[in-house]
Amino acid sequence: MYICKWSLDIVYGKQKDALEIIKKWGAEKFRSSNFSKSRNNRVMTGFIGESGAHIVDEYVFDNLDDFEKALTDMGQPQFQEFSKAIAPFIVPGTQKWTVYKVVS
């Protein structure tokens, strides 16, 4: 099992706007991409020890093939509007994917 986390920092004062986009984007991911293979999804924001402008979008996959297919699916046209909508809110250079392998 793999925990796949997309993290990014948002421009000050734009957290609410960014979270609305992520919520709609997530619904479309589960409707029309391999993200539907994720066992679990949750979105978190920094609270104590991390800036509230830090957002983590987390997915749980049984295997890396499903995750890689999900990432490839993000190139489909229905996802472009979300990418364009959130881009102005992202602090440049802060978005990344981190993948953890569950060992116990």
Helical H segments across 1-104, by residue range: 15-32, 64-73, 77-86
Average pLDDT, the chain: 95
Q: How confident is the model at residue 86 (pLDDT cuts 50, 70, 90)?
A: very high
Give the pLDDT confidence of 48-77 residue by residue, as tens digits: 999 989 999 999 999 999 999 999 999 999
Q: Letter for the amino acid at 20?
A: E
| Cα 49 versus chain centre, distance | 21
pLDDT at residue number 56: 97
Tell me the C-alpha distance between 94 and 102, whole Å: 25
Residues 6+ apart with CB under 8 A from 17: 89
pLDDT at residue number 4: 98
pLDDT score of 83 more than 90: yes
Domains of the chain: 2-101 (3.30.70.100)
Query: How much of the chain, in percent, has pLDDT values that exceed 90?
Result: 97
Q: In terms of C-beta density within 10 A (0-12 exposed, 13-18 middle, 19 or more buried), how is residue 13 classed?
A: exposed
Q: How confident is the model at residue 40 (pLDDT cuts 50, 70, 90)?
A: confident
pLDDT at residue number 87: 96
